[in-house]
Amino acid sequence: MGFTLIELLVVVLIIGILSAVALPQYRVAVEKSRLTQQMALVDAVVRAQEVYYMANGQFANDLSELDFGLPGGCTFPAGPGDLTWANCGKFSINYKHGSNCDVHGSNGTTWNTGSLRYEKRMTVGGCTGGSFCHAQTSDNVAQQVCKSLGGTNPTANALFSGLTRYTLP
């Protein structure tokens, strides 16, 4: 006694349907988890920059001047002259030296790549504050991640073409 061909086909069909539904949701969950790690690190850099600004009247030009620690394994490759960035394996963070109000995190391994990015603006030194999620316009998973974080008001990204910017709560 064994299984009939129909029973085997039904099992294969059920597995196919489950994988078709579950795989995209799994990708969203993985990317959201990675973005949450970025967000925590970017928020720490922003808080450290704000403390530095209140103590010194200007923003720090280098991450080493700030009172916070990067996760193990982060490196500091050379970037454009006015940009500090750290490559932390599955994501990177960056900010412009001295005068920029925002810190960016990206799921790319260089300062200007990645389909999913997080931006946090400082609230001192004339900066307006705010949090934003940037998703590659052609990447449905990235778009879903930004929306799942409560992202609203999708607009074209003025700084990087091909990205949509969502305002986060």
Q: Tens digit of pLDDT for each residue in 132-165?
A: 999 998 989 999 999 999 999 998 876 677 889 9
Whole-angstrom Cα distance, residue 83 to residue 63? Answer: 11
Domain ranges of the chain: 5-168
Q: What is the DSSP track for 91-111?
A: -EEEEETTT--EEEEESSSST
Q: What is the pLDDT of residues 2-60, one digit of tens each?
A: 889 999 999 999 999 988 888 888 889 998 998 888 898 889 889 998 999 999 988 88
CB atoms closer than 10 angstroms to residue 23: 10
pLDDT category of residue 167 using cuts at 50, 70 and 90: very high
What is the value of pTM for the model shown?
0.79
